[in-house]
Amino acid sequence: MRRMMIAGNWKLNKTIGEATAFADVLAKRLVSHDLRDVVIAPPYTALAAVSQSLSGTHIAVSAQDVFYETEGAFTGAISAAMIKDAGCTYTLVGHSERRLYFAETVETTVKRLVAAKAVGLIPIFCVGETLQERESGRMHDVLRSQLSALATLDFSANAVVVAYEPVWAIGTGVVASESQAQEAHAFVRGILAPMGLSETRILYGGSVKPSNAAGLLAQSDIDGLLVGGASLNITDFLKIIAAGQPGSYEDWFDLQFP
């Protein structure tokens, strides 16, 4: 049985104080509810402080990116060992915004995956097509090409997480329909299976909200969610964590905290 994961990617948001305050409240709300794996990805500046705030809880911390070199003259870069040292369990790799704004490629993604694996970080490896690629019938080719990064890296099923994020749904308010998301996830799982990764968790990311989380999580090949903007609001993020569970939101969380 693949355990559900809800991951919040905060992107370029929250100071150290704001990040630790959020983490403290999240930990208090979730203290007795080990429902699903919960991960948050603060900016680099807050990784160590948030990791310290969440020490002893079941909430894990992820970086938003990792550089592939171990040390040297690479101004502004952060290595996998540095991320691990800051208290992270996970790191995002290959997010579409990194590909779009920072020229990351399949080749550099492979290097990042190798670097993360070498220090024991679990990569959350992001794949997905643009609207133009989908409408031109190239979605499957794009996903196959992106997933080829895993082909020779010998990951075990639990040592990597894949996140399918249709680029046309990220930050746009447009979400893939449940059937579109399920079809893409089933295709991704079919690509992963010959690599021995059929039981690897596959998250959906793209304008996830409390209103659509339960329907997405009900799909057979969707093992969790990579949440962007909605993960910045504590109430929305908690509702997404609880989505699709028996009982009401109030049944699952301690609401005495602001």
Q: Which residues are catalytic, by number?
A: 95, 165
Q: Please spell the DSSP secondary structure of the chain, one letter per residue.
A: -PPPEEEEE--S---HHHHHHHHHHHHHHTTT---SEEEEE--GGGHHHHHHHTTTSSEEEEES---S-SSSS-TT---HHHHHHTT-SEEEES-HHHHHHH---HHHHHHHHHHHHHHT-EEEEEE---HHHHHTT-HHHHHHHHHGGGTTS---GGG-EEEE--GGGSSSS----HHHHHHHHHHHHHHHGGGT-TTS-EEEESS--HHHHHHHHTSTT--EEEESGGGGSHHHHHHHHHTTSSS-HHHHS-TT--
